[in-house]
Amino acid sequence: MPPLVPGEPNWALAGELLLAVSGIWPSEPLTPRQAAEAMALPKAWAEEIRKLLSGAQKTQPPSSPQVRFLATWKKLNADDGADELVVLVEDKKIADAYKAARDRVIDYLTGPLRPVMVEDLQQRRLLEPSVGQQLLANEVVATANDPGRVVYSLRAGLVAADSLELVRAAYPEIDLLIRRTIGIELQAQRTRRAGYRVPWSAELVLRGYLGEPTGVARPGSSGEAGTPDADQAAQAMPDVPSIDIRRDRRDAETRVEKVADLSP
């Protein structure tokens, strides 16, 4: 996608949000329901970050279902694009952004899911993964299908470095959205409560997400009120264009219309 022009809707973010609800391998074309879910994600993530900064009780970390490693590797390399998935998406820019995001995520996964290959006298064989490689695959595939996992992991008090790397590389607009949301919610807490300080448990995971050191507090850290870093992070949120997806005509037909179609 081209660089975002000031004042232009963030098409790339719309595509990433849509991918975040559909997953990278949906079985059917995208639906209006998925469009609505995509548009609701920024608000849901902001609420989780608000709870984190207010000192709400930690939650359980999201689970990482085990993936079929070699089958997933073959699927990554057999994928032939997503044109059929966006046939009902009305805006071509959003459709293109969705496909670009999906290609980027799939390309990223070919790194951590690359199996060890050996050649014997007859053929090249793919070896089953080690325990560590299997665990890594479980985590990154789960995050590839749902990058919002990193927000819920913040509430749980731990974000896997491999998940962060994937979101930063493959979902750059969602990563920027989360960073801005952290800044905005931090400023909101300071506005509501004089002398507000970030709870230490939240401080640790937020510093990890923002790439700040986790040792002694320093000027510019998330724990210091009114710092340039926090002010910069609290810039205006990006304008996400409306994600409109047509309903299949057959789904919109009424019983009467179907009967009328069968009349002589």
Per-residue pLDDT of the chain (264 residues; tens, 9 = 90+): 444 555 678 999 999 999 999 999 999 999 999 999 999 999 999 999 999 999 888 899 899 999 999 999 999 998 777 899 999 999 999 999 999 999 999 999 999 999 988 877 677 788 889 999 999 999 999 999 999 999 999 999 988 999 999 999 999 999 999 999 999 999 999 888 888 899 988 999 999 898 887 655 543 444 443 444 455 554 567 789 999 999 865 554 443 444 444 443
In a domain, 4, yes or no: no
In a domain, 1, yes or no: no
How many structural domains are present in the chain?
1
In a domain, 5, yes or no: no
Distance from C-alpha of 30 to C-alpha of 179, rounded to nearest angstrom? 28
Closest CA to 100 of 171, 162, 22: 171
Distance from C-alpha of 49 to C-alpha of 240, rounded to nearest angstrom? 19
Print the domain residue range for 228.
11-262
In a domain, 229, yes or no: yes
Distance from C-alpha of 63 to C-alpha of 48, rounded to nearest angstrom? 17
Distance set, CA 36 to CA 31, 148, 173 (Å) = 9, 16, 18
Is residue 126 a contact partner of residue 73, using CB atoms and an 8 Å limit? Answer: yes
Distance from C-alpha of 51 to C-alpha of 47, rounded to nearest angstrom? 6
pTM of the model: 0.83
At 225 the pLDDT is 39
